[in-house]
Amino acid sequence: MKKKFNITLIIFAFIFVIDQVVKYGFVNFDWDVEGPIMSLQLAYNYGVAFSMFAFLAEYLKYIQLLILAGATIYLLKNKDVFNDYYIAIALIYAGGLSNILDRFTYGAVVDYFYWHYGFEFAIFNLADVIINLGVAIVIFIQIKKAREEKKQKELSS
């Protein structure tokens, strides 16, 4: 358990720092680059995904911190969940806390990836990608466990 916790901290710290450094660069050094498929363009997101709930902009950071606190309490009470999903948890927490820090530091989440080839997509950031990767890992593990349970039931029948 301690080894998994240490791995979680290392993954968390690495991703969190990289994401914050990149965001700092976009905010302070004009790293915008125009590309034919995707551009790097600074944007501030006052809401959540696709700017939903932007009307809650000032309160979102506190709402998100409460959700994260609830998730942490859940994980402390359900150590087996942490044990099974520690890598995904590290990714989700790193991306989530980095975006929350943006809200305190810049007043909004700093976004910069802008897909515009064939269709226009929402502007997003590395933390968003990392959060989605963490969720994909959770789904993958869930599917794998469900298949294993199904196989065990078939063998015991």
- Say which residues have a Cβ less than 8 Å from residue 131's Cβ, sequence separation at least 6: 91, 92, 95, 96, 99
Give me the catalytic one of 19, 84, 102, 128.
128
Known catalytic residue: 84? Answer: no
Active-site pick, 30, 32, 102, 111: 111
Full 3-state SS string of 8-64:
HHHHHHHHHHHHHHHHHHHHHHCCCECCCCEEEEEEEECCCHHHCCHHHHHHHHHHH
Helix 2-29 × helix 126-156 angle, to 10°? 150
111 catalytic, yes or no?
yes
CB 102 within 8 A of CB 108: yes
Catalytic residues: 111, 128
